[in-house]
C-alpha cells in the first residue's frame, strides 16, 4: 500500500445483473473497499469495479475512510485484507433492498 493511499469504505446500492449471483433486477446493498488517495478516485474505482461484476445503476450512499480495526467481523476482515492486497474488495448483502 502506498503510504499516501487510504482504504475507503463505500456503501452502494446497485441493481443485480445476469452474472451477479443475486436475483436479477433486484437492488442490493454493497460494501466496497477501495485503496485510493482521494475519495473521488475511490468512488470512481468502486463504480467501475461493481460494473465489471455485473451490477448496474450504482448509487453511492456513504463513503468514509476505514476506521481503525475495532471488532471487525471475519467477513469484513477478509475484505480489508483483499483490498490491501488487490486494491479493491466487495461484500454484497444477501437480502434485496426493500422497494418503496
Kindly report, residue by residue over 60-91, the tens digit of the pLDDT. 999 999 987 677 889 999 999 999 999 999 99
DSSP string, 38-79: SHHHHHHHHHHHHHHTTEEEEEEEEEEEPPP-SS--HHHHHH
Give the residue extent of every domain in the chain: 6-96
Kindly report, residue by residue over 9-41, the tens digit of the pLDDT. 999 999 999 999 999 999 999 999 999 999 999
| Residue 73 near residue 17 (C-beta atoms within 8 A) | no
User: What is the model's pLDDT at position 24?
Assistant: 95
93 vs 67 pLDDT, higher one? 93
User: What is the model's pLDDT at position 1?
Assistant: 53
User: What is the model's pLDDT at position 5?
Assistant: 80
User: What is the model's pLDDT at position 2?
Assistant: 61
Is 6-96 a CATH 3.30.2320 domain? Answer: no
Cβ neighbourhood burial of 68 (10 Å; 0-12, 13-18, 19+) = exposed
Q: What are phi and psi of 20, to 5 degrees?
A: -85, -10
Amino acid at each position: 500500500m502506498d503510504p499516501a493511499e487510504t482504504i475507503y469504505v463505500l456503501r452502494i446500492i446497485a441493481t443485480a445483473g445476469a452474472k451477479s449471483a443475486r436475483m436479477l433486477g433486484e437492488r442490493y446493498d454493497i460494501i466496497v473497499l477501495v485503496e485510493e488517495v482521494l475519495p473521488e478516485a475511490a468512488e470512481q474505482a468502486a463504480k467501475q469495479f461493481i460494473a465489471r461484476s455485473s451490477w448496474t445503476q450504482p448509487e453511492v450512499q456513504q463513503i468514509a475512510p476505514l476506521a481503525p480495526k475495532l471488532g471487525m467481523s471475519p467477513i469484513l476482515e477478509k475484505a480489508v485484507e483483499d483490498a490491501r492486497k488487490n486494491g479493491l474488495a466487495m461484500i454484497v448483502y444477501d437480502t434485496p433492498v426493500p422497494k418503496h
